[in-house]
Amino acid sequence: MDYEQDYVMRMIKDMVRALALVLFGKKDIRYEIPEENDRTDADNLYMKILHMADQGEINEAENILLTEIPEDTPDYHVMKTDFYQHISEYSDDFLAEHNYTREEILEGLESIAQDYGLLDSEVHVRL
């Protein structure tokens, strides 16, 4: 792995940690999918999104996440953060094979930080 990719991976991990701590008061973020009879439509759609991403349909899954789950869904930003953290665990080869980059993962996390006013327009973390 080259230096640039290693740097981007560290930035992703740092961004996830910062979002977890500042926004949610936790050391890490994982969206916990409830038991089957307690799931909402958003939970079921999120499970489908993760499955799609795991099958290599990362861009399609991201598009569904950003357009079909309402932003006022409880824990929506936890769900989004968990999605980017989940796909950051894919190998570089898997990401490349499916036309997705670590830079796109970082951009997704930065958009969450911007939603909360933690990132200015010049993309400098203000934490």
Section 13-24 average pLDDT? 88
Identify which of 104, 102, 124 has the alpha carbon closest to the alpha carbon of residue 114: 124
Mean pLDDT, all residues of the chain: 89
Q: Per residue in 76-105, pLDDT tens?
A: 999 999 999 999 999 999 999 999 999 999
R_g of the chain, CA atoms, integer Å: 14
**Domain boundaries defined on the chain:** 3-115
pTM of the model: 0.86
Res 106: pLDDT = 94
Q: Per residue in 25-40, pLDDT tens?
A: 888 888 999 999 999 9
- The SS3 assignment for 15 reads helix
Identify which of 93, 99, 104, 41 has the alpha carbon closest to the alpha carbon of residue 70: 41
Res 22: pLDDT = 87
Residue type, 91: S
DSSP summary character for residue 102? H
**Nearest 5 degrees, angle CA 99-CA 103-CA 108?**
95
Section 39-58 average pLDDT? 97
